[in-house]
Amino acid sequence: MRGETLSLVDIPDVRYARSGDVAIAYQVVGDSPLDVVLVPDWVSNLVWQWHEPRWRAFYERLMTFSRLILFDKRGTGLSDRPRFFPDLETRIDDVRAVMDSVRSEQAALVASHEGCWMAALFAATYPESTHSLVLYHPWLPGPEHGLKGGTDADHRDTWERWGTPDYAMEDLRSGAPTLAEDPNYAAWHVNLMRLGLSPSGAYAFNRMMTDTLLGSDFADVYRAIRVPTLVLYRHYRPDAEQMYGRVGELIQGSSTVGLQGLDYMGIFLDDPAREIESFLQSVPDRREPDRMLVTLLFTDLVSSTERLALLGDAAWRELVERHHELIRRLLARFRGREVDTAGDGFFAAFDGPARAIRCALAICAETTTLGLNIRVGLHTGECEVIDGKPGGLSTVIGARVASVAGSGEVLVSGTLKELVAGSGFTFEERGEHELKGVPGPWRLFAVTDS
């Protein structure tokens, strides 16, 4: 079958899910009860990958025990290519949009390389929608973990040489030296690059990776994962066991399997495919999650007692009611969920940190129209789910961050700041603070622009 050309009728139908104003291309194959979402690496093309026999065999293997959901990430393959590459929060919204389109309430997520960040963040944020998780070569960002980005000259070289046979062969020899020896695969690989990303898209993607994601510390997200997880890697470099074993240690209860061989790219090869199949078929039925990753927002009116004394009870009560209506309207706009109110302050939860910041900025701006000054604190952390509401230490941290904020200020924890890399926000460091009742010093940042 190798080298055989498939007819168009052999390619599964491509459909589109709407995620905001972007169309995400996807395919659904198989009809088993278990849903599996394959989160692609940085370059993919739904049609072209079916033409490679190894990829086709991988898909067909997964189809024997699952309903397989494939998609191209925004900016790649058959999906819309917006002007700017999005942050992780937007891209996990795309996963959610595809799952909603195919009416998948819960799915196993299988991801490789850069796609592992998307899958891990989705699993930590939406454990109720995640059956299980497979991460093939999950990265732990940051140079201290051995992962470094390219220079501007490297990115320019990518833009100038993207999609050329020489560049594709260099990429293949580096990431899959065994596959590079197969001329049919090498020819297919160069066309995957061309069909998956444009040269300017590849340049922008590499810049986004280096300038934003590689500067983040993703450890807190891995720690927040509470679904059955398999970490897979190859011994393609001397420190591979240390690199990927570290990720496995961060994910509570995960299994880590090291494979022999040098083909770092090959999630579709026989040995990882066997491990994936065995793991997914062994995962028991899930119970309702009792912990998840949540972004918490706390607001507090500044000098409220003085305003009460100045206005009197009746006028103050009317002003507070208008304040509450305004904040509830903004929470609805940015997909926030009101958890509690205490006097003139709000406690709300978000499934995305960037949305929470945008909501906080809007709250600060619009409450001034009421003649009020407000301060907002934000923190992203793992929360207990108590009677459907977030609780635990992370809620204490969020409240303490708000108490440090100044009038008209949106103050965020360092944990949250690192998760919104690529979202277009700028921050001003506010130094380290001791938060009452919370262990250790905490670096805090004020949002200065978006």
Taking only the tens place, the pLDDT of each residue in 28-64 is 999 999 999 999 988 999 999 999 999 999 999 999 9
Burial 121-139 (b: 16+ CB within 10 A, else e): bbbbbbbebbbbbbbbbbb
Query: Are 175 and 122 in a shared domain?
Result: yes
Query: Are 266 and 302 in a shared domain?
Result: no
Q: The domain that contains 261 carries what CATH number?
A: 3.40.50.1820
Query: Are 230 and 331 in a shared domain?
Result: no
Cβ atoms within 10 Å of 102's Cβ, excluding its own:
17
User: In sequence order, which residues have a C-beta less than 8 Å from that of residue 231 and are 6 or more positions away?
Assistant: 135, 138, 244, 245, 247, 248, 251, 254, 255, 256, 257
**What pLDDT shows up at residue 5?**
56
Query: Are 196 and 310 in a shared domain?
Result: no
Domain with 434, as residue range(s), is 291-449
- Mean residue pLDDT of the chain comes to 88
**Of 33 and 146, which is predicted with more confidence?**
33
Query: Are 418 and 399 in a shared domain?
Result: yes
pTM: 0.85
**Of 387 and 16, which is predicted with more confidence?**
16
Taking only the tens place, the pLDDT of each residue in 367-384 is 888 888 899 999 999 898
Taking only the tens place, the pLDDT of each residue in 257-275 is 999 999 999 999 999 999 9
Taking only the tens place, the pLDDT of each residue in 210-257 is 665 565 668 889 999 999 999 999 999 898 998 899 999 999 999 999
Domain end position, chosen among 233, 251, 282: 282
What are the residue ranges of helices labelled H in 289-312? 304-311
| Cα gap 413→19, rounded to integer Å | 28
| Residue 150, domain member (yes or no) | yes
| Residue 3, domain member (yes or no) | no
Query: Are 32 and 134 in a shared domain?
Result: yes
Query: Are 331 and 389 in a shared domain?
Result: yes
Assign 1 a pLDDT band (cuts: 50, 70, 90): very low
Query: Are 302 and 272 in a shared domain?
Result: no
Assign 145 a pLDDT band (cuts: 50, 70, 90): very low
Q: The domain that contains 427 carries what CATH number?
A: 3.30.70.1230
**Of 373 and 279, which is predicted with more confidence?**
279
CB 100 within 8 A of CB 195: no
| Residue 109, domain member (yes or no) | yes
Query: Are 232 and 366 in a shared domain?
Result: no
Domain end position, chosen among 252, 282, 312: 282
Q: Domain tally for the chain? A: 2
Assign 142 a pLDDT band (cuts: 50, 70, 90): low
Query: Are 236 and 91 in a shared domain?
Result: yes
Query: Are 197 and 322 in a shared domain?
Result: no
**Of 4 and 77, which is predicted with more confidence?**
77
Domain end position, chosen among 264, 282, 300: 282
Query: Are 382 and 246 in a shared domain?
Result: no
Assign 290 a pLDDT band (cuts: 50, 70, 90): confident
